Amino acid sequence: MEEGCVQKSVRWLQGLTLGMIGHELEALTHAGLQIVEAREGFIRCNFIVPSYLLDEDGNWNVGAMATLIDSVGGAATHSFSGHVKTSVDFNISFYSTAKIQEEVEIEAKVVGNRGKLTSVQIELRRRENGEVIALGKEWMVSTNISSSQMMRRPSTRD
């Protein structure tokens, strides 16, 4: 039986989380990510902010947040379209910060589709009270990369 788009998207996120695919940056920023719910065009994850992702003020580094937002958004897009897509417009509004060992929820949902272009919205919230920490919006476009190529670990030449 062939694996569906949702299952491939979940497997890809799990590969990033376990450091089986991607580069060291992805492995560090995704370590501990827990996929709670996944269906076509929608992915929800929980994450506990580790100490090594903090900035000089003791807050979750915004670059690490952006990496996680982009990945979960990309997985939601793939689960919807079955195509690997790349960001062509990526915007994040930061409303708050998160501290070490704080549990957050990342929810990505496809909100629009125009052929090769897909729009996804990603909310990052505190699990404790639902307060929005950041809101990401992306337009993504199909690439020539297949899902099977997405699952391979890059060689040192990549």
| Largest distance between two CA atoms of the chain | 50
* Residue 156 in domain: no
- Whether 155 maps to a domain, the answer reads no
Q: Is residue 106 part of a domain?
A: yes
Percent of the chain with pLDDT over 70: 89
Does 152 score more than 80 pLDDT?
no
Whether residue 128 is contained in a domain is answered as: yes
b or e along 8-21 (b: 16 or more beta carbons within 10 Å of the residue's beta carbon)? bbbbbbbbbbeeeb
Domain encompassing residue 131: 5-150
Whether residue 157 is contained in a domain is answered as no
Q: Write the DSSP assignment of 93-155 as a string of letters.
A: EE----BTT-EEEEEEEEEEEETTEEEEEEEEEETTT--EEEEEEEEEEE-S--HHHHTSPPP
Q: What is the pLDDT of residue 2?
A: 52
- Per-residue pLDDT band at 24 (split at 50, 70, 90): confident
What does the pLDDT average to over 118-142? 95
Number of folded domains that form the chain? 1
> Residue 20 falls within a domain, yes or no?
yes
**91 pLDDT band (50/70/90 cuts)?**
very high
46-82 tens-digit pLDDT: 999 999 999 999 999 999 999 999 999 999 998 998 8
CATH number, position 138: 3.10.129.10
In a domain, 60, yes or no: yes
pLDDT of the residue at 157? 46
Assigned domain for 135 exists: yes
Residue 151 has pLDDT above 60, yes or no: no
